[in-house]
Amino acid sequence: MNRKVIKDANAPNPIGSYNQAVIANGFVFTAGQIGVDPSTGKIVEESFKARVEQVFKNLSAILERAGTDLSKVVKFTVFLTDMGNYDQVNEVFNDWLDEENAPARSLVSVKELPAYTDIEIECVAQLV
C-alpha cells in the first residue's frame, strides 16, 4: 500500500505522534482538527461558531495540500462536547458545503476534547 503523509503550515501542527493527514488508496484521511489558529497556535476564543469556522479552514488547508478539497469529502466525523451547539454546527456545514452533494456525517457527543475545546472534526476525502 502506498502511503503519503500530508503536512501544511496553514493548519495547526499536531500535538502528539500523528500527522495532519495521510493519503492511502486514493483517499485522504485527516486527523481530527480543532479550532486552533495556525498563525497563533491558540484556540479561537471569539465564539463557538468561529471555532467551527476555523476547523473548516484547517481541514480545507490540509485537503488542498493533499490535492483535493472539501467538495470531495465522503465522510465527516464530528465530536461535540455540548449538543446544544448542534444547530450552529449545521449552520457552518451549510455555509461550507453544497447541501445537495453533502457527504455522510456522524456527530458524536463526548465528555471532553484535546486542549479543552468543544469541537473536533475529521474527514475522509477522495483525491481529485
* pLDDT, one tens digit for every residue, the chain (128 residues): 689 999 999 999 888 889 999 999 999 999 999 999 999 999 999 999 999 999 999 999 999 999 999 999 999 999 999 999 999 999 999 999 988 889 999 999 999 999 999 999 999 999 97
96, 49 Cβ separation under 8 angstroms? no
pLDDT (0 to 100) of residue 79? 98
53-86: pLDDT as tens digits: 999 999 999 999 999 999 999 999 999 999 999 9
Least Cα distance to 119 among 106, 109, 128 occurs for 109
Least Cα distance to 9 among 51, 53, 68, 64 occurs for 64
Question: Which class does domain 3-126 fall in?
Answer: alpha beta
pLDDT (0 to 100) of residue 1? 65
Query: Got the DSSP string for the chain?
Result: --EEEE--TTSPPPSSS--SEEEETTEEEEPPB-SEETTTTEE--S-HHHHHHHHHHHHHHHHHHHT--GGGEEEEEEEES-GGGHHHHHHHHHHHS-GGG--EEEEEE-S--GGG-SEEEEEEEE--
Rounded CA separation 74/27 (Å): 9
Total residues found in the chain within this entry: 128
19, 6 Cβ separation under 8 angstroms? yes
pLDDT (0 to 100) of residue 16? 84
